[in-house]
Structure 1
Amino acid sequence: MRFYKSSSVKNKVTAIQFPSVVSKGCGVCYQDAFMFTANKADLTAQQVYFTIFAELPQWVKGLLTLRNKVVSLFGFLATDNNMGSSFTSMETGERAGFLRYQLVSDDQVVSTSEEPNMAIWLTVKRVSQSQFIVATEVELRTLKGRVYMAIIKPFHRFIAPFCIRYALKMNRL
């Protein structure tokens, strides 16, 4: 199946059609996926996941802290913002902030979070030696979940690729 184009432009992050990744699938859903080429060769999906999510830009961490304060008032899960905890603890079943690793391999990392309003799947998938996809899928279970996602979606579509570009620019990928 062809769902993406290769790009050799440095630090380019491209929105692509949602790929076939490990998830439960869902009814009312939000999905996005971004593809990029790493500056470094032979990285694993684990290394890429950790590099992007364990070292988020400070302003993104600040927004996540604000988000947690606001959404906790409406009954959403609000935990720490450390989505990458420790590279050495990236094992199936371990927690990283509000996410739990469901699959950890050199080719793919899938982390999830489930609560009454929504379920989230965050995937990093290696598609070639230096190309990766970061994909997000959200099952919206309640009206509150759908309203929340309608508010968050424009921010997510900006912040997700920004965090990938940030890791590329800082030469961590």
Structure 2
Amino acid sequence: MLPDVTEAAIPAKTKIAGELNGAYFYDCHQMDYQHEGISAMQVFLNAFGNTPAWVDFLMQIRNRVVSLFGLKDLGQLRAILPAKTAADYRIGDQVGIFSLIYQSEQEVILCDCDKHLDVKVSLSKQSKEGRQFIAVTTVVHVHNMLGKVYMFFVGPAHKVIAPAVIQHAKQ
């Protein structure tokens, strides 16, 4: 059985919290996760490297549809290089479909920027009252009407896809 993922407030003491001003869309999902001795980057790699096949199937459909409008093919979420360890990643590196823009032991932020919108995803390790958990936050800034139309379709799907990806961090 997969662990429970819940929607939550964005953790105030994360770097991604500073990206909320002017955001068109944002959300945060969290899940209990014993992260002692595991870097935020490793947790990210665990989650996205084990993306469910049905999510990558939806990504394939997304890529075909948006190519008709001149937008880029992102590839698949699980396109993580298996030979590269968490310690090997540096700012600016590609991590699957995202570029790494911030990295600490407690949080990583990755982004994908395009002419219609900027997407930033943070995975942070959290602890509260003896409970360890991870929080995955997504923040989107749109640049034009195409970005708004895109988010009209992607926003609701994201509410299903994000928890599905996070659940696989423990596998």
SS at match of 2:55: helix
Q: Is the 8 A contact 2:5 2:29 kept in 1?
A: yes
SS at match of 2:44: helix
SS at match of 2:15: coil
In the superposition, the TM-score normalised over structure 1's length comes to 0.82
RMSD, aligned α-carbons: 2.1
From 58, 62, 73, the equivalent of 2:57 is 62
2:11 paired with 1:13: no
2:108 paired with 1:95: no
Runs of 5+ consecutive residues of structure 1 not aligned to the other structure: 1-9
From 137, 140, 156, the equivalent of 2:139 is 137
2:15 paired with 1:22: yes
1:118 corresponds in structure 2 to: 117
Q: Separation in 2 of the partners of 1:28 and 1:40?
A: 29
1:47 corresponds in structure 2 to: 42
SS at match of 1:130: strand
Question: Residue 66 of structure 1: CA displacement?
Answer: 1.4
In the superposition, the TM-score normalised over structure 2's length comes to 0.83
Question: Residue 119 of structure 1: CA displacement?
Answer: 0.3
Q: Separation in 2 of the partners of 1:119 and 1:91?
A: 20
Q: Is the 8 A contact 2:43 2:169 kept in 1?
A: no
SS at match of 1:123: strand
Runs of 5+ consecutive residues of structure 2 not aligned to the other structure: none
| Alignment deviations for residues 58-87 of structure 1 (CA, whole Å, 9 cap, x no partner) | 111111111111112212222322453333
Q: Separation in 2 of the partners of 1:76 and 1:151?
A: 15
Q: Separation in 1 of the partners of 2:79 and 2:147?
A: 21
Residue identity in the other structure for 2:145: L
1:161 corresponds in structure 2 to: 163
SS at match of 1:84: coil
Residue identity in the other structure for 1:95: Q
Question: Residue 101 of structure 1: CA displacement?
Answer: 0.2
Q: Separation in 1 of the partners of 2:120 and 2:26?
A: 9
Residue identity in the other structure for 1:122: V
Q: Is the 8 A contact 1:78 1:98 kept in 2?
A: no
Moved more, 11-20 or 141-150: 11-20
Q: Is the 8 A contact 1:26 1:139 kept in 2?
A: no
Give percent identity, aligned residues only: 25
From 72, 77, 84, the equivalent of 2:80 is 84
Q: Separation in 1 of the partners of 2:96 and 2:165?
A: 17
Residue identity in the other structure for 1:84: I
